[in-house]
């Protein structure tokens, strides 16, 4: 089983990103669950979602304490919470940032400027750049699921072509 913890802020689309990840893995023929953790938080507050991917049905509903992968949609969260807590020793990190943040030094970090991609494509809703579709492209590049399944998942949930384009850009630009 592959376990992912996703950090974002309320309103940034983290819940939808988690669902897209589960759907893309499912389209790869895997089993997947996406479980947003709902607290008392509201828009703007740091939130987490949990995603599990496996070859067999997933029976676990509790939170993920030792993730294989940590995805950070908003790098400013790194200063607020220890996003790396519990990461497996050989675990990976994906951060939405043009450069690797200082605090991420020492981890196996990949990064891509998802916010920049969203702004470039004018993929903005209610003043917020959309991050949940581009991140799927970056994750496909990391091998979490195939590029085709990522595209299929995005097309199933979004009709605006910019979402898929943003994902393809993130796929190419992942460092």
In the complex, the residues that contact another protein under the rule CB under 8 A are: 18-19, 22-23, 26, 31-36, 38, 58-63, 65, 156
We find the least distance from the C-beta atom of residue 163 to another protein, in angstroms, to be 17
> Is 15 or 169 the residue whose CB approaches another protein more closely?
15
CB count within 10 Å of CB 174 equals 18
Q: CB of residue 38 vs another protein: minimum separation in angstroms?
A: 5
Neighbouring C-alpha atoms within 13 Å toward the C-beta of 56: 2
Exposure class string for 58-67: b at 16+ Cβ within 10 A, else e: beeeeebeeb
Phi, psi (degrees; rounded to nearest 5) at 36: -70, 140
Question: 38 or 99: whose CB is closer to another protein?
Answer: 38
Closest to another protein by CB, 38 vs 82, is 38
- Residue 24 or 97: which CB sits closer to another protein? 24
Least distance (Å) from another protein to the CB of residue 39? 9
The minimum distance between CB 60 and another protein, in angstroms, equals 6
Q: How many CA atoms lie within 13 A of 86 on its CB side?
A: 14
> 């030094």: which residue's tokens?
105
């Amino acid at each position: 089983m592959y376990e992912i913890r996703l950090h974002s802020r309320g309103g940034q689309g983290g819940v939808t990103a988690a669902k897209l990840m589960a759907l893309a893995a499912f389209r790869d023929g895997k089993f997947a669950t996406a479980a947003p953790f709902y607290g008392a938080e509201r828009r703007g507050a740091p939130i987490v979602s949990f995603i599990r991917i496996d070859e067999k049905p997933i029976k676990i509903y509790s939170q993920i304490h030792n993730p294989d992968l940590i995805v950070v949609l908003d790098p400013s969260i790194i200063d607020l919470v220890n996003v790396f807590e519990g990461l497996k020793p050989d675990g990976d990190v994906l951060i939405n940032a043009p450069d690797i943040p200082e605090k991420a030094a020492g981890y196996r970090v990949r990064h891509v400027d998802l916010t920049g991609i969203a702004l470039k494509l004018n993929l903005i809703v209610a003043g917020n750049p959309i991050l949940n579709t581009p991140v799927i492209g970056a994750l496909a590049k990391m091998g979490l699921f195939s590029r085709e399944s990522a595209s299929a998942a995005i097309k199933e949930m979004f009709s605006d072509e910019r979402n898929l384009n943003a994902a393809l850009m993130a796929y190419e630009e992942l460092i």
